[in-house]
Amino acid sequence: MADEDEFAEFLSESRDNLDLFENAMLALEREPGNERHVRDAFRSMHSIKGTSGFFDVGGLTGVAHAAENVLSLLRDEELECDALVTTALLRVADSLRAMFDLVVRGEPPAGDPPLVAALEVIARGGRPALPERAGERAIEPEPPVADAAPNEPPFAHAMARAVEAVVAPGDGGGVAAARADAPTHEPRRDVSLLPPAPGALASPTHAPPADAGGPAESRSVRIDVTLLDRLMDLAGEIVLARNQILRHAASTSDPGFLSTAHSLNALTTELQERVMKTRMQPVRGLFAKLPRLVRDVSGRCGKSIRLELSGEETELDRTILDGIKDPLTHLVRNAIDHGAETPAERAEAGKAPQVTVAIRASHDSGYVRIVVSDDGRGIDPLRVGRKAIERRLLSQAELERTAPGDLLKLIFLPGFSTASTVSEISGRGVGMDVVKTMVEQLGGTVDLESEAGRGTAVILSIPLTLAIMPALIVSTGGDRYAIPQTSVHEIVRIIPQRGDRLEWVGDAPVYRLRGQLLPLVFLDRQLELESPTAPGAAGPINIAVVQVQGRRFGIVVDRIEDAAEIVVKPLARQVQAASIFGGATILSDGTVALILDLVDMARRTRAGLEEVARHAASEQQAAGPTNTVPTTTMLVFAIGRRLLATELGEVKRIEKLHASAIETTGRGSVVQYRGELMPVMPLGDLLEAPHDTEGEFVHLLVCDRGDKPVGLLVDRVVDVVVGAFEVKRRAARHGLRGTAVVQGRATDVVDLPALLSRIAPSIRPPAGDALDGA
């Protein structure tokens, strides 16, 4: 039964991919040379080929493979996409579609040798006559189709997807996956979300309760997921209204109003949680598909794999679950195909014959972490570097300067693949860059850790829900825009009077951030607003430093306004073509703000960013050995009248907030931080430095302690200084590294890791962390 389920899923997924492929080819015909369409087409065909390889579907894989070959040549610009090539590839779609129809009827398709032959001739640079299509005599290049489906932005797409749900009233608890091909009117007690197409289904998780007969009938009701989406929207709006009321409550002393405000607060929080729960599903359904995948892939590669799954009960919004299915599949295939050694290789290395691939899901402060790890051969940074040079992603000089840890990140660059042979399983070049893009489109991040000979771990960090996310609100040209907070690294304010300034590389603006060139994007110019900021204007310049797809750049805005939890709304059809926006949101004052899609923005500005990167490389080269003096970046801050410093790298984030935002509970001080309660520790108490209690604002140095953030309270952040500092040890004092001369003043350098380890583990946020709109 499970196999049938998977097979049905394979069919529906492949048909979707076929549609995507066809649309990409048609888009390519309209916009010849647009490499995005080529990549999209390649990716879709690659998925079809990849999954069809697992099922015995006759000649299907052969056709897909031949098509993928041609697409790979197009992608590498070794072949030009003209009418003949387009027609041939569209013919592939027809042929595959016909084969899928055969497969559905249970007949193994024989393949399409004439088409495969024609594709092979094309791949060799020939101009074959295309085989005739059934029911058609002459072969004409198809005219471009004007009304092909536009590419929907991911948010909108995810939000707009209508599926149906079965909801059990009064049972606010768990959400389980249900099989879509089960008789749909069969009553269920579980809250279940059904995929839209009869073929696409989630795996069975809990069986329905044994007594799901007569009495359960009255407890379940079918609800269209668009209605659930609307409820979700409304819950989000109520949170915003509640926040306004709470702000008002802070400035009133009417006890009646205050108590009403408090109960409204509690009810709203619960309402929001409950509504969100209706869309949540455990990752179990997703994980359930992996054993089969592992078995098939490992069988094919002749490797012995033990699969470990944990955290299957971890819940995620179903649109996000859908979104991470492909990245997860890619990662598992990669781990087996590239990461795992053969038993012989392992014996030689003195390892147990079986490779362990572990997939673990867990909650981590508003995010879900999914770690895919293996104890295979690991990734050799030098090999990555060599490959990057081969692929012309890096110059020899750049390679020599790149730290081994950074070399691993090259794997995320588009067009990178370390597999030396093309394999049917994880292929050539679709992989980590696609994984990264897909995860980032969900507002998540991807990290990679690897040790040669020991194994590799890929860490996905994914928001619990797409619908609400933390964002930085900025304004430009009089309008406000939201930037997803997960991508924001820091905020920089350039004050020309202090000698800071923008520089230009060609026509690309840059800023020297702690000695490194940071490419800049002027938001007003990017959005073609009427009154662009004059370059080099005299006033202060605000930059939000962001990182997406491994590219770091600064977005220049007029003002940084606020940090807020926002409810993501899809954009209407009329404006979906403006892909620079991932959606819209309604701010607490009721105005609409657009959400910037940084992935798209990075893509648009790539040429400029690359030029800056090249320039930075050649500049560093010219600077030569003088650049090798080790420099440190110090964060200088004050507690009371005492100046202290710490290495900036030890601080994850700096937050400025109103002193009243810190709440005291029975177990210490806490502050609401990204939807959770974060413990706050006055740093002065650990260093016997008295705090200044007068200030209206305080700063928190947010550090990681274990996997939880903790806020260290300081009175003032003074400056960030780059230089070579000699830290002189003084008589042993706890929590201090020693003293250094920073900007001409003797400054105590704090040993944050040592201090953090001293904080009692009892400082934990109180139970019942609430996801709270800020």
Q: Tell me which of 94, 120, 237, 655 binds another protein, using CB under 8 A.
A: 237
Q: Which stretch binds another protein (CB under 8 A): 331-339, 379-387, 412-420, 566-574?
A: 566-574
Based on CB atoms, which residue is closest to another protein, 479 or 500?
479
| Closer to another protein by Cβ: residue 54 or 155 | 155
Nearer to another protein by Cβ, of 459 and 529: the residue is: 529
Nearer to another protein, 184 or 591 (CB): 591
Of 139, 586, 661, 662, the one binding another protein by CB under 8 A: 586
Part in contact with another protein (CB under 8 A); list of ranges 114-122, 358-366, 442-450, 573-581: 573-581
Spatial separation of the C-alpha atoms in residues 701 and 595, rounded to whole Å:
27
Dihedral pair phi/psi, residue 97, rounded to 5°: -60, -45
* Interface pattern 179-218 for another protein (x via CB under 8 A): ----------------------------------------
User: Is 561 one of the binding residues for another protein (CB under 8 A)?
Assistant: no
User: Min. distance of Cβ 154 from another protein in angstroms?
Assistant: 16
80 and 89 in contact (C-beta within 8 Å)?
no
Answer for which of 3, 136, 147, 528 binds another protein (CB under 8 A) is: 528
Tell me if 234 contacts another protein by CB under 8 A: yes
Which residues make beta-bridge pairs with 711? 680, 702
Kindly state the DSSP code that residue 542 receives in the 8-state scheme: E
Kindly list the distances between the CA atom of residue 768 and the CA atoms of 369, 564, 764, 765, in Å, as whole numbers in the listed order.
20, 21, 11, 9
Q: Does 593 bind another protein (CB under 8 A)?
A: yes
Find the binder of another protein among 578, 659, 741, 754 (CB under 8 A). 578
CA distances for 9 relative to 13, 15, 327, 330, angstroms: 6, 10, 16, 17
591 lies in the site for another protein, by CB under 8 A: yes
Helix (H, G, I), strand (E, B) or coil at 307: strand
Measured in whole angstroms, how far is the alpha carbon of residue 422 from the centre of its chain?
A: 27
Is 575 a binder of another protein (CB under 8 A)? yes
How many residues of this chain interact with another protein, rule: CB under 8 A?
Answer: 29
CA dist 115 and 65 (Å) reads: 12
Task: Please give the single-letter amino acid code of residue 711.
Answer: G
* Among 541, 375, 519, CA closest to 474: 541
Q: How far is C-alpha 736 from the chain's CA centre?
A: 37
- Minimum distance of another protein from residue 751's CB (angstroms): 48
Relative to beta strand 642-647, strand 745-750 is parallel
239, 268 in Cβ contact below 8 A? yes
Binding residue for another protein, selected from 306, 573, 658, 745, defined by CB under 8 A: 573
Conformational region of residue 764, where left means phi above 0, alpha means psi within -120 to 50, and beta covers everything else = beta
CB of 344 or CB of 577, closer to another protein: 577
Instruction: Give the interface segment with another protein, choosing from 63-71, 119-127, 230-238, 372-380 (CB under 8 A).
Output: 230-238
Using the structure block, give the residue that is written with the tokens 């230009």. 504
CA trace torsion 417, 422, 423, 427 (10° rounding): 40
Q: Counting contacts by CB under 8 A, is residue 571 touching another protein?
A: yes
Question: Which amino acid appears at position 179 of this protein?
Answer: R
Which one among 569, 603, 674, 737 touches another protein, defined by CB under 8 A? 569
Which member of 84, 245, 422, 580 binds another protein (CB under 8 A)? 580
Residue 532 and residue 557: Cα distance in Å, rounded?
Answer: 10
**CB-CB contact of 115 with 91 (8 Å):** yes
Residue 229 CB, nearest distance to another protein (Å)?
11
Q: Is 572 in the site for another protein (CB under 8 A)?
A: yes
Least distance between another protein and beta carbon 582 (Å)? 13
Closest CA to 602 of 484, 428, 500, 512: 484
CA 713 to centroid of chain Cα atoms? 30
Min CB(494)–another protein separation in Å = 24
Site for another protein (CB under 8 A): which residue of 109, 236, 455, 709?
Answer: 236
Q: Rounded to an integer, what distance in angstroms lies between the CA atom of residue 313 and that of residue 553?
A: 37
* Residue 70 binding another protein, by CB under 8 A: no
Binder among 396, 421, 574, 664 for another protein (CB under 8 A): 574
Cβ atoms 444, 462 nearer than 8 A:
yes
Residue 150 touching another protein (CB under 8 A): no
Under the rule (CB under 8 A), what is the footprint of another protein?
Answer: 233-234, 236-237, 477-480, 527-529, 569-575, 577-578, 580, 584-586, 590-594
